[in-house]
């Protein structure tokens, strides 16, 4: 797996202006769900714009290993031949999903209701990520799950069973947990519901509707009836706002910066980054808003400004959970202090992102401190080029590249192969939009 593998670095220098217009690759969360729901639907699901990154290809590989035929058609079209949940067959091998937490957790929910034995594993980073959050509810529904360290970490072994619906109150606001339970719930007797304290992204719920099954929603509770039949859908995956976020920050933080990104998903459970950049003083315009396959899509235009620090409260965190590393870059460039509260979930992402942001941004001269679950960034200082590391985390690699555009002198970012997990082509797009940064990729001396 190249996700997390060392060996390649980016060398670039600042200050460099980023401007122009672009499209970003398909949404990662939506791509995973399109493949997984297509795999258990009846008929041929057509997917356009699927993100072909390592994480989503891990999901594709897994459904193929479970006996689902997937055909790559010409152009951008992919066809998934589903035969309902009964159409899945036991995989002959361990399902290795690389770096992808979404694949592992959602697949665990799907396989919990299948009459088969499955073993799910991943790379070193994924094997350190917490799984009790899905093991506990799936067990409560009747499945048998085992994992390392008292069932806390992958590899996970799953013996699927006849499941019974549950009413689960999730201790974490996590779309991966919610979706795993809903996928199990589709195969369970009776109703399954999930209640969260703060609503997480709702792509699963929206996509279920596109497949003909509409979950019942009330506040932060979502419920589904077991045994509901999914019918194949035609889907177009919008651009990933989490990928767009890197460029948005670069455009927003430069007073003369101007940037336009077309066809981006703007699901309100994901748009915390847009609200926050606007609060920081950037002009963010959401244009040509429309809906595709139940997901809001728009073009985004950003005009840069001298940003100011803000306070981000815990209730907003799920709406920008993946954007915090790049928001920390915006905060370092802003006037005044930014406080990000309730960010503890960042400790259990691909790496401990609170520590990674503090230490790696610190090497570039940013004043970042972490107290408990709270990240504080004292803005206004000058960033200077340095040697930093992604630590094998794609979002860290790309956030550091954006920081490097604003840093005086040369920055080397080690361990950038991980960017392939979510954003193939990022470096190429950055080079086009910010040609003065002179980005080049080099092989690390080992
Ligand atoms: C995702 C949900 C989020 C997010 C991840 C993708 C999803 O994780 O960080 O990148 O597709 O459901 P959690 O649900 O664990 O917060």
Identify whether 275 is a catalytic site residue.
no
407 contacts 378 by C-beta, under 8 angstroms: no
Q: Domains (ranges, CATH) in the chain? A: 6-26+238-445 (3.65.10.10), 28-236 (3.65.10.10)
The answer, yes or no, to whether any atom of ligand 1 lies below 6 A from the CB of 91, is no
Active-site annotation holder among 322, 352, 444, 445: 322
How distant, in Å, are the alpha carbons of 64, 293, 328, 336, 342 from that of 280?
45, 32, 12, 10, 19
329 CA to centre of ligand 1 in angstroms = 21
pLDDT, tens digit, 9 for 90 and up, residues 65-83: 999 999 998 889 999 999 9
For residue 242, which atom of ligand 1 is closest to its CA?
10
For residue 318, which atom of ligand 1 is closest to its CA?
16
174 contacts 100 by C-beta, under 8 angstroms: no
| Residue located nearest, by CA, to atom 16 of ligand 1 | 174
Helix (H, G, I), strand (E, B) or coil at 219: coil
Query: Has residue 306 got a pLDDT over 70?
Result: yes
User: Which of 4-8, 234-238, 287-291, 421-425 shows the lowest mean pLDDT across its residues?
Assistant: 4-8
Q: How many percent of the chain have pLDDT more than 90?
A: 96
75 CA to centre of ligand 1 in angstroms = 29
Length of the chain: 446
In this prediction, residue 258 has a pLDDT band, given cuts at 50, 70 and 90, of confident
206 CA to centre of ligand 1 in angstroms = 16
**pTM of the complete model beyond 0.85:** yes
Query: Has residue 104 got a pLDDT over 90?
Result: yes
User: Residue 302: beta bridge partners?
Assistant: 259, 284
Query: Has residue 445 got a pLDDT over 70?
Result: no
Mean pLDDT of 308-327: 98
Mean pLDDT of 252-276: 95
Q: Rounded to 5 degrees, what are φ and ψ at 395?
A: -70, -30
Specify the residue for token string 């970012």. Answer: 413
The answer, yes or no, to whether any atom of ligand 1 lies below 6 A from the CB of 346, is no
Write the DSSP assignment of 306-361 as a string of letters: --B--EE-GGGGGGTGGGHHHHHHHHHHSBSEEEE-S-GGGGGSSS-HHHHHHHHH
The answer, yes or no, to whether any atom of ligand 1 lies below 6 A from the CB of 100, is no
How much is the pLDDT for 74?
81
For residue 179, which atom of ligand 1 is closest to its CA?
12
The answer, yes or no, to whether any atom of ligand 1 lies below 6 A from the CB of 53, is no
The pick from 29, 33, 197 for probing ligand 1's pocket by mutation, whose C-beta has the most ligand atoms within 8 angstroms, reads 29
Rg (CA), the chain: 21
How much is the pLDDT for 256?
79
Mean pLDDT of 203-220: 98
Query: Has residue 86 got a pLDDT over 80?
Result: yes
In this prediction, residue 6 has a pLDDT band, given cuts at 50, 70 and 90, of low
pLDDT, tens digit, 9 for 90 and up, residues 376-401: 999 998 999 999 999 999 999 999 99
In this prediction, residue 446 has a pLDDT band, given cuts at 50, 70 and 90, of low
């Amino acid at each position: 797996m190249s996700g997390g593998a060392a060996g390649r670095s980016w060398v670039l220098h600042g200050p460099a202006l980023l401007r122009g217009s672009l499209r970003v690759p398909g949404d990662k969360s939506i791509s995973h769900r399109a493949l997984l729901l297509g795999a258990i639907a009846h008929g041929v699901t057509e997917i356009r714009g699927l993100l072909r990154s390592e994480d989503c290809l891990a999901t594709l590989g897994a459904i193929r290993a479970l006996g689902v035929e997937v055909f790559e058609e010409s152009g951008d079209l992919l066809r998934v031949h589903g035969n309902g949940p009964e159409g899945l067959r036991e995989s002959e091998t361990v399902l290795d999903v690389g770096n992808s937490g979404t694949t592992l957790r959602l697949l665990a929910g799907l396989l919990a209701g299948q009459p088969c034995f499955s073993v799910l594993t991943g790379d070193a980073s994924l094997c350190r990520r917490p799984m009790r959050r899905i093991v506990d509810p799936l067990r409560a529904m009747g499945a048998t799950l085992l994992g390392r360290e008292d069932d806390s970490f992958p590899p996970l072994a799953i013996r699927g069973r006849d499941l019974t619906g549950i009413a689960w109150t999730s201790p974490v606001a996590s779309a991966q947990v919610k979706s795993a339970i809903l996928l199990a719930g589709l195969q369970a007797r009776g109703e399954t519901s999930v209640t969260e304290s703060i609503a997480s992204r709702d792509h699963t719920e929206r996509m279920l509707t596109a497949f003909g099954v509409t979950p019942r929603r009330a506040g932060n509770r979502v419920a589904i009836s077991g045994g509901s039949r999914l019918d194949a859908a035609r889907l177009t995956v919008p651009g990933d706002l989490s990928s767009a976020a890197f460029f948005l920050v670069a455009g927003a933080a430069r007073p003369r910066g101007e940037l336009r990104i077309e066809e981006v998903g703007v699901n309100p459970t994901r748009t915390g980054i847009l609200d926050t950049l606007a609060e920081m003083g950037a002009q963010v315009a959401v244009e040509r808003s429309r809906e595709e396959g139940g997901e809001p899509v728009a073009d985004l235009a950003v005009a840069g400004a001298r940003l100011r620090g803000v306070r981000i409260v815990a209730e907003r965190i799920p709406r920008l959970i993946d954007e915090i590393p790049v928001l920390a870059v915006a905060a370092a460039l802003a006037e005044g202090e930014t406080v990000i509260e309730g960010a503890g979930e960042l400790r259990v992402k691909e790496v401990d992102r609170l520590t990674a942001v503090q230490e790696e941004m610190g090497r570039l001269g940013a004043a970042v401190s972490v107290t408990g679950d709270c990240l504080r960034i004292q803005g206004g200082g000058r960033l200077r080029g340095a040697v930093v590391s992604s630590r094998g985390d794609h979002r860290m690699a790309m956030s550091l590249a954006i920081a490097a555009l604003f840093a005086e002198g040369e920055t080397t970012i080690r361990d950038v192969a991980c960017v392939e997990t979510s954003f193939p082509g990022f470096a190429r797009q950055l080079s086009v939009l910010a040609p003065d940064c002179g980005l080049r990729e080099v092989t690390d001396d080992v």
